[in-house]
Amino acid sequence: MQTLLRPFAIKSSGDLARIGVILALAGLILFGALRYDNFLSPFNILSFLRYNSMFALIALGMAFVIITGGIDLSVGGTAAMASVVAALLSPYHWAAGLLGGMAAGFAVGALNGFIITKMRIQPFIGTLATMLAAYGTGLLLANNQSVSVSYDTGFTVIGQDDFLGFPIPAWIGLAAYVLGWLVLEKLPVGRHILAIGDGEATAGLMGLKVERTLAAVYLASGTLAGLAGVILASQFGAGQPTEGVGWELFAIASVVVGGTLLTGGSGSVGATLAGALLLAMVFNILNFENGLGWISLSAYWQSVIRGAFLLVVVVLQAKLMARHRAI
């Protein structure tokens, strides 16, 4: 019997945390379905996926960064700047807006990689500096105002249209997560990323190209944040230089709730997606609760409740992992 159950055994505390976030997400979906009439309506499901694809993308990039033991505080500012760049280039062609926004994110990611690997500055400080620079650049390019996108070149299709009945931003997010899973689980570079998170010095002694891998991880994070900015501009019809505040915290929370250790060396792409969806689901449920009329929660109270919910989930996961280690 033990032999038959061995493939399903929980092998680490990280596995337990990942199971926990999936169960919490399933519980929230069940609660919403039972309490609200239109919770599982096609409109709500598609709107939920369309909007939250942006946050899922930055959470994916953050997951890879945190697995290496780093942090990227610049993703919110990068997304805001990229949305402005995409909006400014959208009149020329939809592809110009898409590639321009991603290139802006790529540039910030490259700068982060250079600062961290060549200048030897701690990721927290280095990406804090680029976050401020990205916000400032976005405001300068936009003249401190929103920048309207072109509706004539098809740019808004990226954020507002569907393909095969599924939102295009959700397709983009799905493709990114499939690619991320393949990189982390099936390719040698994924093992290198995990090894660097366990210890850079040890990874270097093993002959791994630590600097090159770290630079690639920050490039990926910046590019995904740029892509999120493109979706932001396309979905709302304008580049938003003041948007993105707190996005880095949402991304970090999604990764941590998904069971990835902030110290690095462990993580899961799928659990990160579940963590992002879980936090977004809390916001969705609060909106439905407001709609019932029993309570009326402002955006500020909603933030407080989301933070409290995050704390409860993390505490429960910590207790479960401690109990698992004691067994």
Q: What is the DSSP string of 116-172?
A: HHTS---HHHHHHHHHHHHHHHHHHHHTTS-EEPPSSSSTTHHHH-EETTEEHHHHH
Residue 27 lies in a domain: no
Residue 164 lies in a domain: yes
Instruction: Quote the pLDDT of residue 2.
Output: 40
Instruction: Quote the pLDDT of residue 312.
Output: 74
Number of domains, the chain: 1
Of 8, 135, 12, the C-alpha closest to 74 is 135
- pTM, two decimal places: 0.90
Residue 59 lies in a domain: yes
Residue 290 lies in a domain: no
Provide the domain limits for residue 189. Answer: 41-244+260-265
- Token couple for 57: 């993308």
- Is residue 186 within 8 Å of 74, Cβ to Cβ? no
Sequence-ordered list of residues with C-beta below 8 angstroms from that of 272, at least 6 positions apart, any chain: 59, 60, 62, 63, 254, 255, 258, 260
pLDDT in tens, 238-281: 999 999 888 998 899 899 888 887 888 888 899 999 999 998 99
Q: What is the DSSP string of 184-249?
A: HHHSHHHHHHHHHHH-HHHHHHTT--HHHHHHHHHHHHHHHHHHHHHHHHHHHTEE-TT--TTHHH
Strand, coil or helix: 113: helix
- Is residue 213 within 8 Å of 64, Cβ to Cβ? no
For residue 191, the tally of other CB atoms under 10 A from its CB is: 13
Residue 293 lies in a domain: no
Residue 138 lies in a domain: yes
Strand, coil or helix: 42: helix
Instruction: Quote the pLDDT of residue 276.
Output: 93
Of 139, 141, 132, 140, the C-alpha closest to 112 is 132
Residues of the chain with pLDDT under 50: 1-10
- The most distant pair of C-alpha atoms in the chain lies apart, rounded to whole Å, by 68
Q: What is the DSSP letter of 259?
A: T
CA 86 to chain centre: 20
Instruction: Quote the pLDDT of residue 199.
Output: 85
Residue 201 lies in a domain: yes
φ, ψ of residue 243 in degrees (nearest 5): -80, 170
Residue 16 lies in a domain: no
